[in-house]
């Protein structure tokens, strides 16, 4: 039996590494290619066949929505599993109806659900877990931050990790890239986290 071929489209290295670690644990799945821009992705989609596309919506140079529009316009049929930090039930319904997306995962939920999503979609099904829009920080996170006494600067930068790369945070805040890396290393140490995937999961309401 041939392995399922998965393509990853994601511009954040820490997220890509998380996907790869999870997929490498699956015996019947292989990663065909990883793309960090939508432009390179659509070029590949025109000439190559594969089973599932894991698509981030916030990529540079042709974002995920533009990729979906391109695939639809050019009648390129690919089973797409969307992953995003931005979501609402209404948004997910639009992804399903407008672009025939086969599944949706939040960045925080990918660790628990990625394998199940890939299997369901490969077997002709869908994967849309019940999702509620999160409008405030989890009480767990607030309590832990207070207990660990994060600095004002750390508290200021912390929510940005869910939506921005280190380089983007540095640019937005007018500080050096090395300073950003140092701030988030200290935050992870204080919160007892191993990486930014765990930090994002914590930010969006999960517990490590």
Reduce the secondary structure of 35-56 to three states and give it as a string.
ECCHHHHHHHHHHCCCCEEEEE
114 and 159 share one domain: no
128 domain-assigned: no
132 domain-assigned: no
Stretch among 63-72, 95-104, 106-115 having the lowest mean pLDDT:
106-115
Percent of the chain exceeding pLDDT 70 equals 85
d(CA 117, CA 104): 8
CA-based nearest residue to 17, from 206, 195, 202: 195
152 domain-assigned: yes
pLDDT at 133: 42
97 and 166 share one domain: no
String of DSSP letters for 126-140 = -B--------S--HH
**Residues spanned by the domain of 144:** 139-203
Q: List all residues 6 or more positions away from 13 whose beta carbon is below 8 Å from its beta carbon.
A: none
The two structure tokens encoding residue 114: 């990625």
| 122, 152, 185 - which closes a domain | 122
CA-based nearest residue to 82, from 43, 40, 127, 47: 127
Q: Nearest 5°: phi and psi at 66? A: -65, -35
pLDDT at 116: 92
From its phi and psi, is residue 43 left (phi > 0), alpha (psi between -120 and 50) or beta? alpha
d(CA 87, CA 135): 11
Q: Average pLDDT of the chain?
A: 83
Query: What's the pTM value of the predicted model, to 2 decimals?
Result: 0.64
133 domain-assigned: no
110 and 196 share one domain: no
112 and 76 share one domain: yes
134 domain-assigned: no
Q: Check residues 90 and 8 and name the one with the higher pLDDT.
A: 8
30 and 63 share one domain: yes
52 and 81 share one domain: yes
78 and 146 share one domain: no
CATH code, 33: 3.40.50.2300
- Per the structure, the count of domains in the chain is 2
Q: Check residues 48 and 189 and name the one with the higher pLDDT.
A: 48
Other CB atoms within a 10 A radius of the CB of residue 161 amount to 22
Positive or negative torsion for Cα 178, 206, 95, 20: positive
| 122, 155, 179 - which closes a domain | 122
pLDDT at 109: 66
77 and 8 share one domain: yes
51 and 109 share one domain: yes
17 and 117 share one domain: yes
129 domain-assigned: no
Q: Give me the mean pLDDT over the 149-172 stretch.
A: 83
| 60, 93, 122 - which closes a domain | 122
């Amino acid at each position: 039996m041939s392995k399922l071929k998965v393509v990853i489209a994601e511009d954040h290295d820490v997220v890509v590494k998380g996907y790869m670690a999870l997929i490498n644990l699956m015996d019947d799945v292989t990663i065909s290619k990883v793309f960090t821009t939508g432009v390179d992705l659509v070029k590949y989609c025109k000439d190559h066949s594969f089973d599932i596309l894991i698509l981030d919506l916030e990529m540079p140079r042709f974002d995920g929505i533009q990729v979906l529009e391109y695939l639809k316009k050019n009648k390129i049929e690919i089973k797409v599993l969307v992953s995003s930090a931005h979501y609402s039930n209404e948004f997910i319904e639009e992804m399903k109806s407008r672009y025939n997306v086969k599944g949706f995962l939040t960045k925080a939920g990918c660790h628990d659900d990625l394998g199940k999503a890939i299997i369901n979609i490969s077997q002709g099904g869908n994967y849309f877990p019940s999702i509620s829009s999160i409008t405030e920080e989890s009480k767990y996170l607030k309590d832990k931050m207070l207990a660990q006494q994060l600095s004002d600067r750390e508290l200021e930068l912390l929510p940005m990790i869910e939506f921005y790369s280190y380089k983007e945070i540095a640019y937005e805040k007018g500080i050096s890239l090395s300073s950003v890396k140092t701030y988030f290393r200290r935050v992870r140490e204080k919160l007892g986290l191993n990486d930014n995937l765990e930090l994002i999961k914590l930010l969006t309401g999960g517990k490590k």
